[in-house]
């Protein structure tokens, strides 16, 4: 089912943290965000933001004050409210931390509502979380809690409401959420699942139609799909991670998305050095279409 909430357009995930910056520590300045959005403008009609931190507020300020022709899908980032022993890198938290997270999450949801009202002319959709229910995550939130947040936000804003998650949970544990959200948002990563480049787009199509065919009356958007250009071998074979493969996958993905009218947010605009481990070849650091110093990779040259 086509998404009737906003027309098809080129869409990309944006997080503007530069080298030495990271969430909660140091945020990109107004000028740095403006530089980024000038790089992106003209090709991308939609940006996806992940949280309601000062970074998001600055991005929205820049778009409004500079009158940039871009709309935003704004997310709330919700932290762990329960432990997840299945997370391979640390999903166990002290109960005191979980209690604080529950309060923080409620505040984050309220900030989402506030920004949705303040920037009603720019924000076209809102998400009540990101990858908080998939089996391997380190910030597990119970499905019923996500449902609660979605109901709360739907009652408070006029924009359509969703939740961004890997495609797998939508077929099972997220079924109670489907009736609450206005559209389903899925993530698909053939590279993480070690698919060769020649199979990558077909695998993304399989992921998409698995969910779309399961819920034929609910619009489905792809809110993350991308290809990292470097890997230390942890989870992704190094020979898969290259600018050539990124270019091929992104070009094929965007051509298919345009043909089908499926809004697809490419992950992501710029490399982010703060992510993942300290290993410079950590895959999480290299999903950008531009490097951390804003140099274009092959796909956008």
User: Does residue 1 sit within a domain?
Assistant: no
User: Does residue 268 sit within a domain?
Assistant: yes
Range from 44-48, 88-92, 95-99 carrying the lowest mean pLDDT? 88-92
The model's confidence at residue 81, banded by pLDDT at 50, 70 and 90, is very high
pLDDT of 180? 98
pLDDT, mean of residues 158-174: 98
pTM for this model (two decimals): 0.97
Structure tokens at 171: 């077929």
Which residues is 264 bridged to in the sheet? 222
* Residue 189 half-sphere exposure toward CB, CA atoms < 13 A: 21
CATH number for position 246: 3.20.20.80
Q: Is the pLDDT of residue 2 over 90?
A: no
User: Does residue 3 sit within a domain?
Assistant: no
Tens-digit pLDDT profile for residues 148-162: 999 999 999 999 999
User: In the chain, how many domains are there?
Assistant: 1
User: Does residue 275 sit within a domain?
Assistant: yes
Mean pLDDT computed over every residue of the chain: 97
**Residue bearing tokens 């004050």:** 65
Long-range contacts of the stretch 26-29 (C-beta < 8 A, 24+): 27/53, 27/54, 27/55, 27/58, 28/55, 28/58, 29/58
User: Does residue 289 sit within a domain?
Assistant: yes
112 Cβ contact list (under 8 Å, min separation 6): 52, 74, 75, 76, 126, 128, 153
User: Does residue 2 sit within a domain?
Assistant: no
Distance CA(173)–CA(133), nearest Å, equals 8
User: Does residue 6 sit within a domain?
Assistant: no
pLDDT, mean of residues 91-108: 98
Domain of 191, in residue numbers? 11-300
The model's confidence at residue 298, banded by pLDDT at 50, 70 and 90, is very high
pLDDT of 3? 74
Tens-digit pLDDT profile for residues 274-290: 999 999 999 999 999 99
The model's confidence at residue 301, banded by pLDDT at 50, 70 and 90, is very high
The model's confidence at residue 166, banded by pLDDT at 50, 70 and 90, is very high
Asked if the peptide bond before residue 268 counts as cis, ω within 30 degrees of 0, the response is: yes
pLDDT of 281? 97
User: Does residue 5 sit within a domain?
Assistant: no
Q: Is the pLDDT of residue 106 over 90?
A: yes
Give one word for 42, left, alpha or beta, with left for phi > 0 and alpha for psi -120 to 50: left
pLDDT of 118? 98
Tens-digit pLDDT profile for residues 179-234: 999 999 999 999 999 999 999 999 999 999 999 999 999 999 999 999 999 999 99
pLDDT of 55? 98
The model's confidence at residue 5, banded by pLDDT at 50, 70 and 90, is confident
pLDDT of 240? 98
8 Cβ contact list (under 8 Å, min separation 6): 257, 258, 261, 262, 263
């Amino acid at each position: 089912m086509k998404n009737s909430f906003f027309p098809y357009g080129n869409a990309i995930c944006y997080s503007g943290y530069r080298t030495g910056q990271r969430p909660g520590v140091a945020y990109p300045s107004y000028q740095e965000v403006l530089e980024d959005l000038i790089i992106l403008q003209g090709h991308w009609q939609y940006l996806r933001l992940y949280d309601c931190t000062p970074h998001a507020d600055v991005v929205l300020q820049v778009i409004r004050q500079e009158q940039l022709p871009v709309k935003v899908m704004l997310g709330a980032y919700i932290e762990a409210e329960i432990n997840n022993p299945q997370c391979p890198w640390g999903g166990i938290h002290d109960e005191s931390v979980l209690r604080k997270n529950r309060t923080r999450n409620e505040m984050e949801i309220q900030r989402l509502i506030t920004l949705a009202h303040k920037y009603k002319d720019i924000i076209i959709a809102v998400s009540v979380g990101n990858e908080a229910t998939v089996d391997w995550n380190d910030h597990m939130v119970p499905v019923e809690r996500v449902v609660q947040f979605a109901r709360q936000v739907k009652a408070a804003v006029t924009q359509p409401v969703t939740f961004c998650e890997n495609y797998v949970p939508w077929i099972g544990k997220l079924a109670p959420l489907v009736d609450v959200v206005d559209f389903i948002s899925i993530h698909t990563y053939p590279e993480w699942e070690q698919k060769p480049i020649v199979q990558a787009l077909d695998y993304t199509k399989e992921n998409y139609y698995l969910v779309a065919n399961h819920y034929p009356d609910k619009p489905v958007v792809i809110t993350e799909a991308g290809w990292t250009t470097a890997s230390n071998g942890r989870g992704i074979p190094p020979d898969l991670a290259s600018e050539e493969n990124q270019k091929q996958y992104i070009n094929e993905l965007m051509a298919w998305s345009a043909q089908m009218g499926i809004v697809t947010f490419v992950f992501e605009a710029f490399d982010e050095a703060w992510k993942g481990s300290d290993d410079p070849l950590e895959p999480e650091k290299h999903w950008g279409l531009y490097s951390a110093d804003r140099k274009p990779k092959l796909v956008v040259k």
